[in-house]
Every structure is written in structure tokens, then in C-alpha cells.
Amino acid sequence: MYDVAGLELAVLIGAVVVAFTMAGRRIGVSPPVLLLIGGAALSFLPGLADVRVAPEAVVLFMLPALLFWEARTTSLREIRSGLAGVLSSAVVLVLVTAGAVATVAHALGLGWPAAFVLGAVVAPTDATAVGAVAGRLPPRELTTLRAESLINDGTALALFAVAAAVATGAEEFDLLEATASFALSYVGGVVVGWLVALAAARIRTLAGEPVLRNAVTAVMPFASFLLADLLGGSGVVAVVVYGLAHARLSPRWIGARTRLQSQAFWSLTAFLLNGALFVLVGLQLRGALTALAPDDRVPTAILGVLVVVTVLGTRLLWFLVPAVATVRWAPTPGRVRRRLPLAWAGFRGGVSLAAALAVPTILTDGAPFPGRAAIVVVTAGVIVVTLVVQGLTLPLVLRAARYAEDPRPRDEERLAERRAAEAALDALPAEAARLGTPSAVVERVRAEQEFVLARTDEAGSTADDPDPDRHAADAEAALRMALLAARRAAVVRLRDDRLVDDLVLMRVQSALDMEEARLRPPGALS
């Protein structure tokens, strides 16, 4: 007989992910909050109280896939425009938060090394949690949070490695060596991520069919993480850079079928891994609490409350104090109000849990690691509070912020559609002559593109669609196919000139891919 315990757990987690996500969307509550609760409820089922998540499963398997998809669907243009703020939050704020938490923990009895381990564990925000819970933010603010969360995991894991090595007695702390290690971690991650992206582009051109090309895409996030880690760089940074580079380079050398297949695969994979991660966090709560000795529960509860207050307070001060201080010299109505959601959306998630579970159990001299159980419990408490309390109250904070609707995505999408139509009209005479297309078909295609121009005109238009329900003849399909390359190239040029956002390019390109899928037999797509 087979041991089906692992399969039972996988089925249960999958059922919880589907059921609680549906419930969350129906009642208007962020699904991660309900998934966390669902995971905690699972721990009371027979046989599930002792389920333990291996930190390697999160950091080495789930994290690269989730980080790649988050980076792949994040606006590089917005990251560039706010790079200084993103880096300050992703690096300096993590270090400040870790130091503040360590100070509080040391004051309550933890030794400095163990206190810094706790600080490094709870300091980073979680990219998947931010994307799932803070999705109602305007595009620019959401991109800022996602970019911060993508990068700060690298800072926190590098800090955690140093703190854990010092705490176990494996190394002596040296500020110069630690600083050099941080710099090498980031530089190495950036270089590896970019080189892997270039290598992947070359390999995909040799792979041929879409399934093999997407297999390369699926493997490369893990390869970039592994290679960076082996070379002493940050695997997290390498995956993020690879994802951003993939988004930048892929529109030029990936075909429609490959892109449609990749989109379907990665969106489903990210949904399942993301949901499972929140369920697994919930599953660990009961075990973390029962691991505490009875005499340690009250001191740990006090430590947990103070750490939560420190984490939230540090982030609020980081975002709001500069906004308040600059009002006097550069008065901007609502600046503080609009910064509040950024300060309030500092969700913690699976990365913090994985780091807490990765805290060594013993020191190099064989003694137990001091306060390990408390670190795990406090980390779990921070995750719960930030996801549940902040997640449930974020809609109220957003209403208080009174963000105005950002017209840029809609305007840029209209611009992209217009430029694509103009490119099609410019290429139409040459392509029609090359294909020998009948003049009646040429005029129908011309009328269709002129209709798009009229529809996207800034003044608006009530022009009639030339014939939206007409079945295209073979000659018309061939001509439209020939014009797709010009339309795609026009939109990519807009992205390269920073006139439209990366996410706008993705949406317009997806529509063009669907059009190509309708025009060509599935086997002819590449």
C-alpha cells in the first residue's frame, strides 16, 4: 500500500485554497486572510497538528516561482521612476526595522544575536501578500509596494544569514565583512539574473516548439536562484532581475502561442502556490504555540505584542514623518493622507515564516538555540496581525486616502491601440501587394483599422463597426496576420520610449495574441 498522507494534505490544501478564495471574493474579504484562517482550522483535524513546513520548500521551491511571476507582472517603468524610494524602503527600512525589533527583543531578555535573528525574520514585507491583499491600490502605489517587497526579501535573508551564523557561534561579527557581503549579494544577484535572462533568450530560440520554450521559462527562475546562491549572490535578487529582464526582452522573441501558454501556466501556478503558502502559514500556528514551554507563554505574548507594535510603528514613521516634515516647505494637499496606505500595507508572509523555521535548533557547542520557539511564535503573530488586521482595515484606509482615479493606464492603452492601427495602415499597401490580396478584402481591413482609430480618438467617436460579425475569408485572414507584426512592433516601441507602461504592453499584446489565435490554426502558432 502507498502512504497517501502527503496526497491527502495536498488535496485538503487545494480544496481550502479554492473554497476560501471563492468565499473571500463573494463576501469582499481578501482571500489571504481567509486562507490563513482556513489553514489554522486544518491544524485541528486529526493528524494535521504535527504538520511542519520545511523552510527549503518555501525558499527554494515556492519563492522563486512566486517572485518570478510578481516581477514579470510588475511595471519596470514605475520602478525606475521611484527607484530611490524603493531602494530606501527595501534596504534601509529593513535594516532599521530589524534594529528596532532587536532592541525591543534584547530589552525583554533575548541575547543580541538571537534578537537580530528575530529582527531579520520579521523585517521584510512579502511580495505575494502585498499583491494579493493590496490589489485595490492605484497602479503607481501598488507597483511601489510590490517592488519594495520583491527586493527587501534579499536584504532580510542576507541579514538573517549573518545574524544566524553569529548567533550559533559559527562566525564572529565584523561590520566591514558584513557590509561587503551585502554588496556582493546584491551585485551578484543582479549580474546572475541578467546573464540568465540572456542565456534563456538564446536557449528558447533553439528550443523550437512552444512547450519546450515554456519549459525553459519554468526552469530558469530556479536556475537563477541556485546559481546566484552558489556564487555568493542573492538568489532573491537574481530571480527578480531575471523576471524583469524577461518582461523587457520577451515581447520581441516570443510568439503568440508561447505567450498564451505561458500566461495560462504561470497565472495558475502562482494562484495555487500563493494560496497554498497562506494555508501553510495557518497550519503552523498551532504547532508554534504548543512548542512553547508553559512558563514562556506570557513573556512570549508580551514580546509578540511589542514586536508587532514596533514593526507597524517603524513603518508608519518611515512613510509619514517625511511627508509631514515636507508639508511646511512644499505644501501639497493630501500628501500625508495619500502616504498612509503605503505605510499600512506592510504585510508579512511566507518568507518570514520560512526564515523563522530555518533558525537552527542548536548552537555550535551543542546547546539549544536560545529563544527559538519564541522567535517562531512571534513571527507567526506578526504575520497574522499584518494579514488579518491590516488586510481587513486596508479598504477603510484606502477610502480615507481618497485616491483620485489614475487615467494613465486607460489613456496609454488607447494610445497603444491607436499606434498599432496606424502601423497596420502604413504596412497595409506593401503587405497586400506581397500577398496579392483582392482589393475588396484590402478595403475591409482598412475600414476595420480606421474604425479603431476613430474609436480611440481623444474626442470620442460614434463610428460604426464596418462588419464585426463577418467571417473573414482566407485572403483576409492572411492579410491581417501579416499586419500583426507591424502592430506589435509599434506597441513595443511605445514601451521602449516609456510612453506606455509594461503592463499596458502586456494587455495589448495579449489581445493581439488572441487575435492571432483566432486567425491561425493552433498548430501554426509559435
- Residues 390-430 have pLDDT tens digits of 888 888 888 888 877 778 888 889 999 999 999 999 999 99
CB atoms within 10 A of CB 451: 18
Q: Compare 98 and 353 and report the one with higher pLDDT.
A: 98
DSSP helix/strand/coil, 100: helix
From CA 230, how far away is CA 376, in angstroms rounded?
Answer: 27
Closest residue by Cα to residue 105 from 371, 301, 296, 303? 303
Residue-wise pLDDT for 163-195, tens only, equals: 888 888 877 877 888 888 888 888 999 999 999
From CA 482, how far away is CA 499, in angstroms rounded?
Answer: 25
Confidence of residue 332 (pLDDT cuts 50, 70, 90): low
Residue for cell digits 512548542? 291
pLDDT number for residue 187: 92
pLDDT number for residue 521: 60
pLDDT number for residue 135: 64
pLDDT mean over 303-331: 82
Cell triple for 520: 491561425
Residue-wise pLDDT for 426-469, tens only, equals: 999 999 888 888 888 888 889 888 888 887 775 444 444 444 44
Q: State yes or no: pLDDT of 383 exceeds 60.
A: yes
DSSP helix/strand/coil, 362: strand
Q: State yes or no: pLDDT of 310 exceeds 90.
A: yes
pLDDT number for residue 308: 96
Q: State yes or no: pLDDT of 490 exceeds 50.
A: yes
pLDDT number for residue 21: 92
**Radius of gyration of the chain from its Cα atoms, rounded to whole angstroms:** 26
From CA 504, how far away is CA 494, in angstroms rounded?
Answer: 10
Residue-wise pLDDT for 214-263, tens only, equals: 999 999 999 999 999 999 899 999 999 999 999 988 888 788 888 889 99
Residue-wise pLDDT for 65-83, tens only, equals: 999 998 998 888 888 888 8
Please state the separation of Cα 137 from the chain's center in Å: 14
Q: Count CA within 13 A, CB hemisphere, residue 503.
A: 18
132 neighbors 30 (Cβ within 8 angstroms): yes
Give me the amino acid identity at 27.
Answer: I
Residue for cell digits 520579521? 122
240 neighbors 494 (Cβ within 8 angstroms): no
pLDDT number for residue 175: 80
pLDDT number for residue 117: 94
pLDDT number for residue 524: 53
Percent of the chain predicted with pLDDT > 90: 31
pLDDT number for residue 326: 61
Residue-wise pLDDT for 127-157, tens only, equals: 777 776 766 777 778 888 888 888 888 889 8
Average pLDDT across the chain, whole number: 85
From CA 358, how far away is CA 374, in angstroms rounded?
Answer: 13
pLDDT mean over 367-389: 90
pLDDT mean over 110-128: 90
Closest residue by Cα to residue 141 from 6, 352, 337? 337
Candidates 1.10.10.10, 3.30.1490.20, 1.20.1530.20, 1.10.3980.10; correct CATH number of 54-275+297-401? 1.20.1530.20
Q: State yes or no: pLDDT of 472 exceeds 50.
A: no
Q: Can you name the residues that pair with 362 across neighbouring β-strands?
A: 368
Q: State yes or no: pLDDT of 327 exceeds 80.
A: no
DSSP helix/strand/coil, 368: strand
Residues of the chain with CATH 1.20.1530.20: 54-275+297-401
pLDDT mean over 478-483: 87
pLDDT mean over 196-209: 86
pLDDT number for residue 209: 84
pLDDT number for residue 459: 45
Q: Dihedral of CA 55/59/60/62: which sign? A: positive
409 neighbors 503 (Cβ within 8 angstroms): yes
